[in-house]
Structure 1
Amino acid sequence: MGQRILVVDDAAFMRMMIKDILNKNGFEVVGEAQDGAQAVEKYKELEPDLVTLDITMPEMDGLAALKEIKQHDSKANVIMCSAMGQQAMVIDAIQAGAKDFIVKPFQAERVVEAIQKALG
């Protein structure tokens, strides 16, 4: 049984790319969300082993979602996804409890490595 992962990104194309990488590497994608508010709801509903969370999204950004998820579950494993040039936000995210971050465009090896590291 693969690790259960929630994929959060406002771009359907990015969700599809990351799901493809995860599925090929034996992870189970249990849900998807397209903004931070949805991510928090889905996390509470699905209780996944890990969340990949985009930083820049409408409604509620990834940083706010991360803080809410961590408030709900202090042990939550969250990996932030960011485009180049968002270093300051990445640092904020790590300080708020994110385990790691991956940069877009996604490289399969880096995604898998970050997830395995976060899940120990």
Structure 2
Amino acid sequence: MDLKAIYISHQHADHQIGTINLILAREQAFRKAGKSVENLFIIVTGKYAEYLVTYHRKIQSVLSHAQLVKCEDLIFHTQKDEYMMSIPGDKVQLINPTLLQSLLSATGLKELETCRAVHCAHAFCLAFR
């Protein structure tokens, strides 16, 4: 029940098999304890997010108490000015700031960032503080 977030770096089976069972077991633990199910942040690639949403809609409700955070939205991007010139030191993430703050608050983290990994298509690394 203390699990606040999970991170899946890419779609290889050894990194994501069991995700749905984990989500369901966590929800069951809350219900068994007679508590409201707390939100779970699931940090995943956009491709795996699509799979989870499809599974949720067509097969079994698994995201009712979950918030998907796409790895792609946690990459820092250099901001450009109106002339498409890089603004020194000014980098932004695409994630909704309110969602990011909720995730950081729930996990006790100060920063969270991803970058692409040279491993397979749609693979990411995660850095946190």
| Higher radius of gyration, 1 or 2 | 2
Tell me the TM-score normalized by structure 2: 0.37
Tell me the TM-score normalized by structure 1: 0.39
Instruction: Indicate the structure with greater strand content.
Output: 2
Instruction: Indicate the structure with greater helix content.
Output: 1
